[in-house]
Chains A and B, each alone.
Chain A
Amino acid sequence: MSRLDPPRVTRRSFLSIASLGSFFAAVGTAAAGLFRLPNPAVLPGPVRRFKLGAPEQFTPGSETLFAEENLVLFRDDDGFYAISTTCTHLGCIVSRAKQGFACPCHGSRFDDRGNVVGGPAPRPLPWLEISRAADGQLVINADNEVPEGTRYRV
């Protein structure tokens, strides 16, 4: 046997390497498993479906700010649409500017349809899904986004 031959793996060293390996695998899995607990299975929070009122309350060409719900409801000749006022940059609430929307935190600018025209925001303001409740009121589902330009016709 020359010096260059790889050393023979004895049963003892094989078993100790294997047991050490399984030990570290178990510790690693357990450590990763610890992160399962703080990762919430159910996201708490209020229901983000809002009843905004009967469609007749909103005249064509009007826009109504719902501050608590963080959205603006528009009605034009084609129908209703709602734009979220939560900035897509870092979650501040945009306010209505002379033209479009402006974010107070980092200066993002959006036009009247929510498209980014300046600042760091990566995406346009989301358009939200509109439906009607059984009593005829408009309902906004703020968790569901619809493509820009989608109108809800009464």
Chain B
Amino acid sequence: MATATREFIRNLHDLPHTVKDAWFRLGKTPESEREESQATFHSLFLHIHSVRVHVRTLSPTLTFGLGLMATGTFLITVVTGLLLMVYYKPSTDLAYQSIKDIHFTVYTGRFIRNIHRWAAQLMVLTVLLHMARVFFTGSYKKPREFNWLVGLGLLVMTLALSFTGYLLPWDQLAYWAITIGSNIANSPRELTDAIGITRWMDPGGFQKRLLLGANYVGQDALIRFYVLHVFLLPVALVTLLGVHFWRIRKDGGLARPEDPMGGKAEWGGAHRTVFEPIPTKTYGLMALVRGQRPTVNRGPENTVMSWPHLFWAELAVFMVTVATTLVLAFYWDAPLKELANAAIPENPAKAPWYFLGIQELVSYSAFTGGLLIPVIVLAGLALIPFLDRRSGGEGMWFGTAGEKPVFRYSLVFAALVTVGMLVFTVNFGWLRNWFPDVHQMWIIIFNPGSLLVLIFAAWSLVVLKRQDSVRLAAVSLFTCFLVSFTILTYFATVHRGPNWHFYWWPSYWPVH
């Protein structure tokens, strides 16, 4: 037989082995640390991790895996979203029916839609909690200021994705939530009307037209929201997510206190002495990253191999995320109300829960509550790492002295002020109820929402003066807003009923 034929037959015979080797290039479970590091950096998907990881990073109570959970929920929405796109039709005539098809006819359609919805809700929740974690562990400090900003961008993208997805079912809930949302975009008109310049300058109208492509929520709005939801925002979010992960590596991993030089290692037993650098030796090109971390003049004592320690932990977090989403999606259906009807609004017409705090503020003034305060809050968050520049306490919960008491006092203070404000407003109303002819400008400037912001700002200034620490002032302000947001969200969810009246419980709502 010719040599080539023989070779061909032998290759054919070896095919199962050679194909397997091409896929699993190491060929076995890594046994040495060298093989473990190869397993990490020879894979595109694993090599975004460093080969070794600090033991503090793996501590579950440092991060609670929140960032990873947010990523996990996002991946779930991408997969389920692609599946939903198979049947969904972005047209006002067909959208509602196609969702009904997905929900009642398509095989596993209801389950997939529920998973999509629950993963989106969990994504908002975990992104918010992740931000709180990063704040309270002081992890935004130098050199991580930029990544804090990227994270804020991701928060905005997450909320925008969720908001645009809300319209697509084209049911009553969708239609009226987007009518309200687009009119919030229109609300600078409240200000321009009050000053009387709307004829010449109308940024509100411009924003609304850009969003809806019309003066009302119709086909043009639906297709715009669809494009934003399935293409523009996901692509933008994935890009920012890449930057976010990249910066974690370039900034030297998760924030943590400096390892002390000399002494005993935190991990690896007593026989490990802490690395003492030899002044004449150069330590690897990999160390050319910002700051001293991860490896310049630092020994490997307090680190462990990413394979398997980090990957097991990540896998566990992903599994918990998927399991939680599946359980929620199995037991609780995503809502679908009646077909959108422009003549009869939902009563009450409530936004998704994470916007309900804002909706409560909007019920005082559309412009102040819907645009001004959110913009102030975002700007404030963006400024934190540039106003609080003193290092110390990074990577530890309430890491600098006095943070815990300030946190506790601010929590109580903000809760009292917010509840007091709500009790007052529900019982006595506001300016318009006392002076029906009051100029709109007064309401824009002076309403329960703006008053809360002012009180919290004053409180944090007092903390700044008394405690003589920018970080503590930031902690007090952040805590105030977090507590107030939570209470307002709870209040609008449970205690606001038809006509936005106060009720002790939804079961007391009048029956139509």
**B349 touching A105, Cβ below 8 Å:** yes
A12 to B176 Cα, complex, angstroms: 60
**B348 touching A67, Cβ below 8 Å:** no
Q: Report which of A38, A105, A115 forms a contact with B180, defined as CB distance below 8 A.
A: A105
Residues in chain B near residue A92, CB distance under 8 A: 176, 179-180, 345, 349
Stretch of B1-9, B51-59, B210-218, B399-407 with 4 or more beta carbons under 8 angstroms from chain A = B210-218
Stretch of B40-48, B114-122, B332-340, B363-371 with 4 or more beta carbons under 8 angstroms from chain A = B363-371
Q: How far is the CB of B165 from chain A (nearest CB, A)?
A: 19
For A93, A106, A107, A117, the residue with the greatest tally of chain B CB atoms inside 10 Å of its CB is: A106
- Say if the beta carbon of B195 comes within 8 Å of chain A: no
- Say if the beta carbon of B301 comes within 8 Å of chain A: no
Q: How far is the CB of A11 from chain B (nearest CB, A)?
A: 38
Q: Report which of B215, B346, B359 forms a contact with A104, defined as CB distance below 8 A.
A: B346
Residues in chain B near residue A91, CB distance under 8 A: 179-180, 182-183
Known: A90-B179, A120-B365. A44 touches B214 (CB 8 A): yes
Interface string of A28-40 (1 = CB under 8 A from B): 0000000100111
Q: Report which of B179, B183, B224, B436 forms a contact with A116, defined as CB distance below 8 A.
A: B436
- Say if the beta carbon of A135 comes within 8 Å of chain B: no
Docked complex: B332-363 residues within 8 A CB-CB of A:
342-349, 359, 362-363
Q: Report which of A43, A70, A116 forms a contact with B432, defined as CB distance below 8 A.
A: A116
**A104 touching B500, Cβ below 8 Å:** yes
Q: How far is the CB of A84 from chain B (nearest CB, A)?
A: 13
Residues in chain B near residue A43, CB distance under 8 A: 209, 214-215
**B345 touching A93, Cβ below 8 Å:** yes
Interface of B, helix, strand, loop or mixed by DSSP: helix
**B176 touching A105, Cβ below 8 Å:** yes
Q: Report which of B193, B194, B362 forms a contact with A120, defined as CB distance below 8 A.
A: B362
Residues in chain B near residue A107, CB distance under 8 A: 363, 499-501
**B343 touching A70, Cβ below 8 Å:** yes
- Say if the beta carbon of A103 comes within 8 Å of chain B: yes
A1 to B314 Cα, complex, angstroms: 64
A65 to B487 Cα, complex, angstroms: 39
Interface string of A69-109 (1 = CB under 8 A from B): 01000000000000000000111110000000011111100
Q: How far is the CB of A21 from chain B (nearest CB, A)?
A: 27
Q: Report which of A44, A67, A93, A106 forms a contact with B362, defined as CB distance below 8 A.
A: A106
- Say if the beta carbon of B184 comes within 8 Å of chain A: yes
User: Which residue in chain B gives the minimum CB-CB distance to A92?
Assistant: B345
**A90 touching B366, Cβ below 8 Å:** yes
- Say if the beta carbon of A123 comes within 8 Å of chain B: yes
- Say if the beta carbon of A7 comes within 8 Å of chain B: no
**A117 touching B176, Cβ below 8 Å:** no
- Nearest 10 interchain pairs by C-beta: A107-B500, A104-B347, A106-B363, A90-B183, A91-B183, A92-B345, A67-B343, A90-B180, A122-B190, A122-B440
Offer 18 A-B interface pairs, CB within 8 angstroms, sorted by A. Answer: A35-B210, A38-B213, A39-B210, A67-B344, A70-B342, A91-B180, A91-B183, A93-B344, A102-B499, A103-B500, A104-B348, A104-B498, A106-B363, A106-B500, A117-B432, A117-B436, A118-B433, A120-B366
Q: Which B residues lie at the A interface, using CB under 8 A?
A: 176, 179-180, 182-184, 187, 190, 193-194, 206, 209-210, 213-216, 218-220, 224, 342-349, 359, 362-366, 429, 432-433, 436, 440, 443, 498-501
Given A107-B501, A118-B432, A120-B366, 20 more pairs with CB closer than 8 A: A35-B210, A38-B213, A40-B220, A43-B209, A43-B214, A44-B220, A67-B343, A67-B344, A70-B342, A90-B366, A91-B180, A93-B344, A93-B345, A104-B498, A105-B347, A105-B348, A106-B359, A118-B433, A119-B432, A120-B364
